[in-house]
Amino acid sequence: MLKSVLKEAAGAGAREILRFFNKSFTVSNKEGVNNLVTEADHAAEKAIIEVIHRHYPDHQVLGEESGASNGTSSIKWIVDPIDGTVNFAHGIPLNCVSIAIEEKGVIIMAAVLNPHLNEYFFAEKGKGAFLNDQPIQVSNETNAINACLVTGFPYTYINMPNGPLEIFERFVRKGVPVRRLGSAAIDLCWVACGRFDGFYEHKLEPWDSAAGYLIVEEAGGRVTDHEGQPFSVYQHKVLATNGKIHDEMVEVINNRKEL
* CATH numbers and ranges of domains, the chain: 2-135 (3.30.540.10), 144-253 (3.40.190.80)
State residue 253's pLDDT score.
Answer: 97
Catalytic residues: 64, 80, 82-83, 85, 208
User: Any residues with CB less than 8 A from the CB of 10 and at least 6 apart, and which?
Assistant: 48, 97, 99, 111, 112, 113, 120
State residue 159's pLDDT score.
Answer: 72
State residue 29's pLDDT score.
Answer: 63
Distance between CA atoms of 189 and 121, rounded to whole angstroms?
7
Average pLDDT of 239-252?
98
State residue 27's pLDDT score.
Answer: 66
State residue 184's pLDDT score.
Answer: 98
pLDDT digits (tens, 9 = 90+) for 26-74: 766 655 555 666 788 899 999 999 999 999 999 999 998 887 888 889 9
For 188: left if phi > 0, alpha if psi spans -120 to 50, otherwise beta; the answer is: alpha
pLDDT digits (tens, 9 = 90+) for 180-211: 999 999 999 999 999 999 999 999 999 999 99
pLDDT digits (tens, 9 = 90+) for 102-159: 999 999 999 999 999 999 999 999 999 999 999 999 999 999 999 999 999 887 766 7
Closest CA relative to residue 112, chosen from 224, 215, 205, 43: 215
Asked if pLDDT for residue 169 goes beyond 60, the answer is yes
Asked if pLDDT for residue 2 goes beyond 90, the answer is yes
State residue 64's pLDDT score.
Answer: 86
Closest CA relative to residue 161, chosen from 101, 203, 114, 129: 203
Distance between CA atoms of 29 and 6, rounded to whole angstroms?
29
**pTM, entire model:** 0.94
State residue 168's pLDDT score.
Answer: 94
Neighbouring CB atoms inside 10 A of 225's CB total 16
